[in-house]
Amino acid sequence: MTKKNLGPCSVNNCQIRPNQYRGITEYALRKAKEKGTYNQYIYLEVGKQLCYPHYLVIVEPDRNNGSSADNNKQDHIIGRKPLSFGEKFSLMTRVLYEKQRIEHNTLELTPDHFQTILEDAEPQLVGFFDELYNAFIPER
């Protein structure tokens, strides 16, 4: 049976009274050393316990760091492939359906206004109207 982490916190003069504690493992100490927080708490050892707030400060100091999330967003943006003609056509159909049926707007079919409606509603359709026009009325 595993040992329950019921406290107390091993940080000197800890006044926090949380309801969660974490055990200090070899892995947790290694992470604290790698992140540079162990130097302030060199008296901590494997088998002792930390209150959850101190555990986050010592072992996981960069847990909510937004920079890694921003890097992941950039990876997804870079990895996005361009939409095919058929996918753009489906997207255009969805935009027009939403404008007419859900928002109850009347569609104005003048080319300039139609293009503006599409591109304002869906940025991925920028330039698609010209592509669509050239598909139906090719240049001679």
* Shared domain check, 39 and 96: no
- Token pair recorded at residue 120: 């304002």
Residue that wins the pLDDT comparison between 79 and 92: 92
pTM exceeds cut of 0.75: no
Burial track 26-64 (b if 16+ CB lie within 10 A, e otherwise) = eebbebbeeeebbeebeebeeeebbbeebbebbbbeeee
- Residue 41 contacts by C-beta under 8 Å, 6 or more apart in sequence? 11, 32, 58
pLDDT digits (tens, 9 = 90+) for 10-48: 776 777 777 778 888 888 888 888 888 777 777 888 888
Per-residue pLDDT at 57:
84
The structural domain count of the chain equals: 2
* Shared domain check, 53 and 93: no
Per-residue pLDDT at 140:
62
Whether residue 70 lies inside any domain: the answer is no
Whether residue 71 lies inside any domain: the answer is no
* Shared domain check, 3 and 60: yes
How large is the average pLDDT for residues 46-51? 84
Give me the amino acid identity at 105: N
Residue 58's pLDDT band (boundaries 50, 70, 90)?
Answer: confident
* Shared domain check, 58 and 23: yes
- Look over the chain and give the mean of its residue pLDDT values, rounded to a whole number: 78
* Burial class, 18, CB count within 10 angstroms (exposed 0-12 / middle 13-18 / buried 19+): middle
Residue 61's pLDDT band (boundaries 50, 70, 90)?
Answer: confident
Whether residue 75 lies inside any domain: the answer is no
